[in-house]
Structure 1
């Protein structure tokens, strides 16, 4: 991977074909996602659009080619959980180990802090030493382990939750600021 600089920007529905091509191998050949069927292009566009109504959805590019993406979603839909988010990341097979994932998560976490989100959680199929090591390197720690809760590719998989605290838990937290309200320029360079 590239001598060219990596650009991180907000994804749009027009990125769906490129991002779906990154995601499809994870669905088809791994238990990293528990989906069995690759989503349709229209479904993927809808996922991006729904996410962006409240949370960041970022894409990392090199020379105009999408190399990975990361996004946040509600940890739980009830209002008391507004200060927690689930994070997800997918990097193209040929861009793993290049630092793109670290850059994506760094930008994502910076935006989540601006939104007043304090706890970030990652749901990870287990075993998955690469993802666990990646998250540990970024300061996540395992906070939950569920046994044989997913079945894919002819075997049972455990699932773990890893968590990172982005800041202090104030007595009265600021309101969750939806991503669109942050305006342009919220992605750190």
Structure 2
């Protein structure tokens, strides 16, 4: 089995949507209730790439088996050093290192862009059920993400409530901008 990671193309949309649909229809991993159309999925790829965020596809012997992408974490400029990340793998391809390969490449590209904080939003429930396990939390923890916040019962799907856990990872140094440091030094030296 040969796995490679490459940038997504618009013509990948249907194959990636086929990977994503079971997460929408059969699990609480995604809080979407209705799968997007192919056109909506194409637009998501286009919008992500036009905003200069990576959208990656993992291929196994030339066939897409997973994808990961990043997007703006929050709208305000002060958050420009942050990004939210998402990943989806074909159900049959989980546990083979493909997710790790995707995230490692995604994190590398984001760090090169000056992104230092990554956030993953993970559906969670204290007790696993037929729609949600703790696999996503465990996956992110293995890659160095730590839980930093939890929204209680914010998602409702399949007649049940689910929490949302924010997980964070730093992939770069948090250096203070020189202008800010110098200005603060001047102000503090006057006191």
Report 1 or 2 for greater relative contact order, CA contacts < 8 Å, sequence distance ≥ 6: 1
Partner of 1:89: 87
Question: Residue deviations 1:118-157, cap 9 Å, x none?
Answer: 0000000003410111000000000001110110011000
Q: Unaligned regions of 5+ residues in structure 1, if any?
A: 174-189
- Offset of 1:8 from its aligned partner? 0.3
Across the two proteins, how many residue pairs are aligned to each other? 170
**How far 1:112 moved relative to its partner?**
0.3
Q: Distance in 2 between matches of 1:96 and 1:72?
A: 20
Q: 1:77 offset after TM fit, Å?
A: 1.1
Q: Report the counterpart of residue 9 of structure 2 in structure 1.
A: 12
Aligned match of 1:42 in 32, 39, 44?
39
- 1:101-112 matches, cutoff 5 A: 101-112=99-110
1:101-140 alignment, distance < 5 Å: 101-127=99-125, 128-140=133-145
Higher helix share: 2
Unaligned stretches of 5+ residues in structure 2: 126-132, 179-191
C-alpha distance in 2, partners of 1:77/1:63?
38
Indicate the residue corresponding to 2:151 in structure 1: 146
Deviation at 1:33, TM superposition (A): 0.6
Cα deviation, residue 168, structure 1: 1.1
Measure how far apart 1:171 and its partner are.
1.0
Cα deviation for residue 70 of structure 1 reads 0.1
Deviations 1:60-84 (A, max 9, x none): 0011110100000010011110100
Max radius of gyration: which structure? 2
TM-score w.r.t. structure 1 length? Answer: 0.88
Q: CA deviation at 1:91?
A: 0.3
Superposition RMSD on alpha carbons, in Å? 0.9
Say whether 1:28 aligns with 2:25: yes
